[in-house]
């Protein structure tokens, strides 16, 4: 089907925008979706490989909804990075539409979104907007759920499932389109959504899937000797890829393995770089090195490897470093990225060759487990770039000749696993049941159970007796904690219960914080309170000194109604949240990132993720403190110190733009103790000496 054949079915502006991207013909899944009624408002589940054109399938009903039906379109994705990427794409493709992105603060209504045509949001953000009573849902005509296989994820799945079920009720006339490359039970998901199913194995770039062993790639119908000389399999595969003048992504099971892998590949990769590529890599390396106030050993290692054309990519990097790595790869400067499997779910970074080196991983408390067929298929989907490659290549590594067949049968010929609901556990339901009652969406136990019967869990397990039992326990618990009140059969949220729901924190965490706010605490005690919450997991490993420190604060646990031993899904060790609190305490005592990451065996990215989460929990604590009439002055001060990583004495100076923990300390140690001091005649010369004329000018202009 030609794009021109959509005339009369799709607005002319949309057809022109699609044609401007040099798209003249619909792909088979796109054509099938149109023929099955995509543009007539029916719900759809699209199960097709990566790069088969699923995004355009989503765009067509979105644009039709906006331009012809005068309705809004909402695009929901699980990863912030994916939302951001699609936002950039949509703004560029449809400049005549108002496109907005909402992925930030969770305690916000974002009223400004009401003025936009297309709204892109992360799963949690849209759920939060609903909790705050967003007013434009009645104006929504089309909702897209990308990566819908995430319903099977223990962490994000339950919120996505609740969100889909809730929007089905709240936006009864809106068209729902769910997208995924890896759904083993796509028919069941489509039936649950009342949707038309479009399944396709079409891929514009053919994918060769094989097993590498002893210098040879074994495919279904052929074998291929790999160029290169290395006896180390991943190096040999990288050499072969680079000989073809292509790029490679290598997936590992742990952060440590990605860094070791990048080290191994670097020497082989470097000799393939051109002079122009080396210049581009030097710029990326400088950006990585300057991402923190003072580079850590990890920063230095990554910067050094990037100059050689190789990088590692994992959650331990800060955002600026991940962005620099991704951009250098897109531009073709970087030849190889060694990544954890999380990159397979985030931004689109296709390469010619994808190697999944590790097909097993270790989960704390569960031991070793094999990657699922779904996960490996998702990673394989990164291979092959439509604009550059005629075919992509995806490989696994066999450790013995006998393992070749076993790996092939499991991952190449094996069926995708079914997506299963992860809703039926108490901690998951706690926050959502409170949200139902707080927004008056559901106010009786019967109505909550009826809603649960409409979820994927209810569809897959027609007998929801166990779920009813959990719901009853949750309601009793919320009432006992003072978050809801029961009047006959009707539940109503208390003032504090509504605030807990809006703050988007687990009611268990909120109860613990409220109990602790009544107790005397110093800075480390306050940090322990916010670290001893569900939201701060996973914790850093227990430090040697944590036991002694915990003895000073165990009274907080003893005086709280919260019993983590009975509430937890896993073994509870209070020394781990105490160690995490000690790490944050070192941060506000102005210890450097290098020293902190070494002392607590963590990474810069993990450290700053903890700081971000802690900031949110401190904000939430101050909001809860207001309601129970407890002084929050020390929490407000601690929040400033945590944000900048400073001792109390620098709090005034960091109010200035261009002044962070390093510059504030330099000024303070040179006799400039406050913003008021900068008005002294002798200070201008001091600041210029410390930071140079340009930075000094920006700082002093604020004082003037």
Whether the Cβ atoms of residue 338 and residue 265 lie closer than 8 Å to each other: yes
Dihedral of CA atoms 393, 398, 401, 404 in degrees, nearest 10, equals: -60
**What pLDDT score was predicted for residue 237?**
97
Tokens 């331009």, residue? 67
Cα gap 120→412, rounded to integer Å: 34
**What pLDDT score was predicted for residue 572?**
81
- All structural domains of the chain, each given as residue ranges with its CATH number in brackets, are 3-199 (3.40.50.300), 206-412 (3.40.50.300), 426-494 (1.10.10.10), 505-645 (1.10.3380.30), 658-703 (1.10.150)
**What pLDDT score was predicted for residue 362?**
76
Over range 49-55, report the average pLDDT: 90
Q: How confident is the model at residue 96 (pLDDT cuts 50, 70, 90)?
A: very high
User: How does the average pLDDT of the chain come out, rounded?
Assistant: 93
Cα gap 504→611, rounded to integer Å: 17
Highest mean pLDDT among 76-80, 203-207, 602-606, 641-645: 641-645
Cα gap 662→133, rounded to integer Å: 42
Residue 569 has pLDDT above 60, yes or no: no
The secondary structure of residue 36, as a DSSP letter, is T
The secondary structure of residue 315, as a DSSP letter, is T
**How far, rounded to the nearest angstrom, does the alpha carbon of residue 674 sit from its chain's CA centroid?**
39
**What pLDDT score was predicted for residue 386?**
82
Whether the Cβ atoms of residue 117 and residue 72 lie closer than 8 Å to each other: yes
Looking at 38-42, 226-230, 304-308, 358-362, which range is the least confident one? 358-362
Cα gap 318→316, rounded to integer Å: 7
**What pLDDT score was predicted for residue 567?**
58
**What pLDDT score was predicted for residue 351?**
92
The secondary structure of residue 10, as a DSSP letter, is B
In the chain, the N- to C-terminal Cα span, in Å, equals: 65
The secondary structure of residue 24, as a DSSP letter, is -
Quick: pLDDT tens for 345-373: 667 787 999 999 999 987 766 678 899 99
Residue 444 has pLDDT above 60, yes or no: yes
Cα gap 97→115, rounded to integer Å: 11
Whether the Cβ atoms of residue 182 and residue 378 lie closer than 8 Å to each other: yes
> Within 171-251, where are the H helices?
186-193, 233-243
Sign of CA dihedral 268, 271, 276, 281: positive
Cα gap 615→32, rounded to integer Å: 48
Quick: pLDDT tens for 627-654: 999 999 999 999 999 999 999 999 999 9
Residue 109 has pLDDT above 90, yes or no: no
Residues 6+ apart with CB under 8 A from 106: 124, 125, 128, 503, 504, 616
Quick: pLDDT tens for 484-498: 999 999 999 999 999
**What pLDDT score was predicted for residue 51?**
85
Question: What angle, 0 to 180 degrees and rounded to 10, lies between the N-to-C axes of helices 426-438 and 465-480?
Answer: 60
Tokens 């869990």, residue? 457
Whether the Cβ atoms of residue 544 and residue 582 lie closer than 8 Å to each other: no
**What DSSP assignment string belongs to 405-437?**
HHHIIIIISSPPPPP-----SHHHHHHHHHHHH
Percent residues over pLDDT 70 in the chain: 98
Whether the Cβ atoms of residue 650 and residue 668 lie closer than 8 Å to each other: yes
Over range 33-53, report the average pLDDT: 95
- 3-class state of residue 20 by DSSP: coil
Residue 11 has pLDDT above 80, yes or no: yes
Residues 6+ apart with CB under 8 A from 694: none
**What pLDDT score was predicted for residue 81?**
86
Tell me the pairing of strands 99-102 and 118-122.
parallel
**What pLDDT score was predicted for residue 458?**
94
Cα gap 483→497, rounded to integer Å: 4
Percent residues over pLDDT 90 in the chain: 84
- The kind and range of the H/E element at 612 are helix 604-627
C-beta atoms surrounding 96 within 10 Å: 9
**What pLDDT score was predicted for residue 294?**
81
CA angle 560, 562, 563 (to 5 degrees): 115
Cα gap 269→146, rounded to integer Å: 35
> Within 628-680, where are the H helices?
633-644, 661-669
What are the helix and strand counts (H, E) for the chain?
A: 31, 19
- The dihedrals phi and psi of 27, each to the nearest 5 degrees, come to -75, 160
Residue 386, both tokens: 């439509």
Whether the Cβ atoms of residue 52 and residue 202 lie closer than 8 Å to each other: yes
Residue 617 has pLDDT above 90, yes or no: yes
Quick: pLDDT tens for 259-305: 999 999 999 999 999 999 999 999 999 999 999 878 888 999 999 99
Over range 10-24, report the average pLDDT: 92
Residues 6+ apart with CB under 8 A from 206: 384, 390, 391, 392
Cα gap 538→577, rounded to integer Å: 9
Over range 566-580, report the average pLDDT: 79
pTM exceeds cut of 0.85:
yes
**What pLDDT score was predicted for residue 520?**
87
Encode 51-87 in three state secondary structure: CCCHHHHHHHHHHHHHHCCCCEEEEEECCHHHHHHHH
Whole-angstrom CA distances from 329 to 264, 427, 441 are: 18, 40, 46
Kindly provide the b/e burial profile for residues 610-640, where b requires at least 16 CB atoms within 10 angstroms of the residue's own CB. bbebbbbbbbbbbbbbeeeebebeebeebbb
List, edge to edge, every strand of the sheet that includes 72-77. Answer: 99-102, 118-122, 72-77, 140-145, 175-180, 44-47, 196-199
Whether the Cβ atoms of residue 622 and residue 636 lie closer than 8 Å to each other: yes
Of 86, 88, 61, nearest to 73 (Cα)? Answer: 61
Of 531, 523, 585, nearest to 557 (Cα)? Answer: 531
**What pLDDT score was predicted for residue 427?**
78
Looking at 112-116, 272-276, 314-318, which range is the least confident one? 314-318
Residue 177 has pLDDT above 80, yes or no: yes
Cα gap 249→258, rounded to integer Å: 11
Quick: pLDDT tens for 370-423: 999 999 999 999 999 887 888 999 999 999 999 999 999 999 999 999 999 999
Q: How confident is the model at residue 566 (pLDDT cuts 50, 70, 90)?
A: low
Residues 6+ apart with CB under 8 A from 665: 590, 646, 650
Whole-angstrom CA distances from 447 to 140, 443, 472 are: 24, 7, 12
């Amino acid at each position: 089907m030609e794009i021109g054949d959509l005339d009369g079915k799709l607005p002319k502006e949309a057809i022109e925008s699609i044609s401007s991207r040099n798209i003249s013909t619909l792909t088979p899944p796109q054509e099938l979706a149109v023929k099955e009624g995509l543009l007539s408002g029916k719900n759809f589940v699209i199960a097709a490989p990566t790069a088969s054109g699923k995004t355009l399938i989503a765009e067509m009903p979105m644009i039709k909804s906006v331009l012809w039906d005068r309705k809004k379109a909402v695009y929901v994705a699980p990863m912030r990075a994916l939302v951001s990427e699609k936002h950039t794409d949509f703004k560029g493709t449809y400049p005549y539409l108002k496109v907005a992105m909402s992925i930030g603060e969770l305690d916000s209504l974002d009223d400004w979104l009401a003025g936009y045509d297309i709204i892109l949001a992360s799963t949690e953000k849209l759920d939060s907007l609903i909790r705050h009573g967003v007013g434009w849902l009645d104006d929504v005509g089309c909702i897209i759920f990308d990566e819908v296989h995430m319903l099977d994820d223990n962490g994000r799945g339950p919120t996505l499932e609740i969100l889909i079920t809730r929007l089905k009720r709240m936006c009864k006339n809106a068209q729902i389109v769910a997208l995924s490359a890896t759904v083993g039970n796509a028919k069941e998901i489509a039936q649950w959504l009342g949707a038309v199913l479009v399944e396709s194995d079409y891929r514009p770039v053919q994918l060769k899937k094989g097993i590498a062993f002893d210098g040879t790639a074994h495919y279904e119908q052929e074998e291929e000797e790999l160029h290169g000389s290395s006896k180390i399999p991943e190096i040999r595969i990288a050499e072969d890829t680079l000989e073809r003048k292509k790029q490679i992504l290598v997936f590992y099971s742990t952060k440590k393995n990605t860094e070791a892998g990048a080290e191994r590949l670097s020497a082989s990769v470097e000799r393939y770089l051109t002079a122009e590529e080396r210049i581009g890599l030097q710029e990326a390396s400088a950006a990585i090195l300057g991402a923190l106030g003072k580079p850590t050993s990890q920063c230095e290692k990554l910067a050094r490897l990037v100059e050689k054309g190789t990088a590692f990519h994992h959650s331990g990097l800060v955002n600026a470093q991940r962005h620099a790595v991704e951009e250098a790869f897109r531009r073709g400067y970087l030849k190889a990225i060694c990544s954890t499997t999380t990159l397979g779910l985030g931004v689109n970074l296709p390469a010619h060759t994808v190697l999944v080196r590790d097909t097993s991983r270790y989960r704390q408390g569960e031991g070793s487990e094999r990657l699922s067929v779904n996960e490996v298929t998702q990673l394989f989907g990164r291979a092959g770039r439509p604009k550059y490659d005629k075919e992509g290549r995806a490989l696994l590594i066999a450790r013995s000749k006998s393992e070749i067949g076993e790996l092939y049968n499991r991952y190449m010929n094996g069926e995708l696993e079914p997506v299963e609901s992860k809703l039926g556990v108490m901690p998951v339901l706690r926050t959502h049941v409170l949200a139902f009652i707080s927004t008056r969406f559901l106010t009786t136990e019967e109505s909550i159970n009826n809603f649960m019967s409409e979820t994927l869990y209810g569809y897959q397990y027609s007998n929801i007796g166990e779920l009813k039992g959990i719901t009853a326990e949750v309601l009793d618990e919320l009432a006992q904690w003072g978050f809801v009140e029961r009047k006959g059969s009707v539940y109503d949220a208390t003032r504090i219960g509504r605030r807990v729901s809006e703050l988007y924190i687990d009611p268990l965490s909120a109860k613990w914080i409220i109990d602790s706010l009544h107790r005397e605490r110093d800075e480390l005690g306050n940090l322990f309170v916010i670290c001893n919450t569900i939201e701060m997991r996973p914790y850093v490993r227990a430090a040697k000194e944590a036991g002694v420190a915990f003895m000073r604060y165990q009274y907080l646990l003893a005086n709280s109604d919260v019993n983590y031993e009975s509430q937890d899904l896993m073994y509870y060790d209070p020394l781990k949240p105490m160690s995490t609190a000690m790490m944050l305490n070192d941060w506000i005592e102005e210890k450097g990132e290098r020293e902190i990451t070494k002392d607590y065996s963590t990474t810069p990215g993990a450290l700053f993720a903890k700081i971000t989460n802690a900031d949110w929990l401190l904000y939430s604590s101050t909001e809860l403190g207001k309601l129970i009439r407890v002084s929050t002055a020390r929490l407000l001060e601690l929040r400033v110190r945590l944000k900048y990583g400073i001792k109390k004495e620098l709090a005034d100076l960091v109010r200035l733009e261009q002044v962070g923990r390093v510059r504030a300390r330099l000024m303070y140690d040179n006799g400039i103790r406050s913003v008021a001091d900068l008005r002294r005649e002798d200070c201008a010369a001091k600041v210029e000496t410390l930071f140079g004329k340009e930075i000094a000018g920006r700082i002093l202009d604020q004082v003037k």
